[in-house]
Amino acid sequence: MTSELRYAVSVVPEPERAEGDAHILRVGQIKYTNALPICHFLEKNDPDIEYYPGAPIELNKWLAEGAVDVGLVSSFAYAEHADTMVALRGLSISSGGPVGSIFFFSKRPLEELDGCTVALASISASSVNLLKVLLAEIGVTPTYITREPNLPEMLEEAEGALLIADQALYWSLQDHGCYVYDLGEEWYRRTGHNMTFAVCAVPKRLLTANPEKVRKIHRFFLEGKRKGLADMDEIVREAQRMLGQSESFWRNYFGNLIYDFNEELAAGADLFFEKAHRHGLLEKPAKVELWGDEE
């Protein structure tokens, strides 16, 4: 894997614009490899569609502020706004077991982290809260700090470090001497449920004001995903262009991920939200509201 993990600085969308722009679709998309099967083939030549690639934490903020109309956002961020947002059916980033790119690196076994410092990657919302839930449920209470995602720097200050996405993939392949916990696997082992890390969320306000626009957004994402899953050769090549590694590495990685979203997957997300609420991480109880048909 290439040593440099640099991305173009995200272009920040402007907060809600005038009515004249109502026909423009402002789309927030995850800029990491995990989202390629949904995002790589999204139609790029439509002048009515503007793209805003970003890290999950940026997309969460843009969607909440109304700076984008739709975003592939952290499931936890969706839960924080579940009363004002719907989740589009057929679209998520989930796993039913190991996820392969959300790792907790620890100098000690999980059970021995009580009272220790744990560093959390600043770009995540779902995984940081998932780690907090998992540790709370085994009775471990560390002190959490939030840091830029860089493993050696995080481990200078902390006993454990949570990384997601490309940074997690990158550092898991380096010498680090840590115990490594895959959070998708930990969740599945403890609950028997899938875990949903990202959903495609749309404000209910937009659904009321402009349902045709939401239908267009939905069709547009489902079409991107359909093309991605039908041409995994190109998705794998794009992942290799981004981060190197072998073809089989990426086939195995994408093979673990689930890009669908339905009642069964929503049940896993609901359980996550319930636990997050019980542990004081989510202010209000939340449930997934699925919207639309999967054509």
Ligand X SMILES: C=C(O[C@@H]1C=C(C(=O)O)C=C[C@H]1O)C(=O)O
Distance CA 69, CA 84 (A): 13
Of the two residues 74 and 172, which places its CB atom closer to ligand X in the complex?
A: 74
If the CB atoms of residues 149 and 216 are measured against ligand X, the closer one turns out to be 149
Out of 13, 26, 29, 30, the residue judged to bind ligand X by CB under 6 A: 30
Could you identify the residue written with the tokens 């699925």? 290
**Residues within window 139-168 making contact with ligand X, judged by CB under 6 A:** 164-165
Which CB sits closer to ligand X, 102 or 235?
A: 102
Compute the least distance from the CB of residue 195 to ligand X, in Å: 9
The CB-of-156 to ligand X minimum distance in angstroms stands at 23
> Which one among 92, 101, 172, 245 touches ligand X, defined by CB under 6 A?
101
**Smallest gap from residue 154 Cβ to ligand X (A):** 16
183 contacts ligand X (rule: CB under 6 A): no
User: 49-68 burial string, b = 16+ CB within 10 Å, else e?
Assistant: bbbbbbbbbbbbbbbbeebb
CB contact set of 29 (below 8 Å; sequence gap of 6+): 35, 38, 39, 42, 51, 52, 53, 54, 59, 71, 72
Cα–Cα distance, 286 to 81 (Å, whole number): 8
Pick from 89, 125, 121, 101: which is nearest to 34 by CA? 101
Position among 39, 68, 120, 125 found at the interface with ligand X (CB under 6 A): 125
**Smallest gap, in angstroms, from Cβ of residue 101 to ligand X?**
3
- 93 lines the binding site for ligand X (CB under 6 A): yes
Q: Under the rule (CB under 6 A), what is the footprint of ligand X?
A: 30, 34-35, 56, 74, 93, 99, 101-102, 124-127, 164-165, 197-198
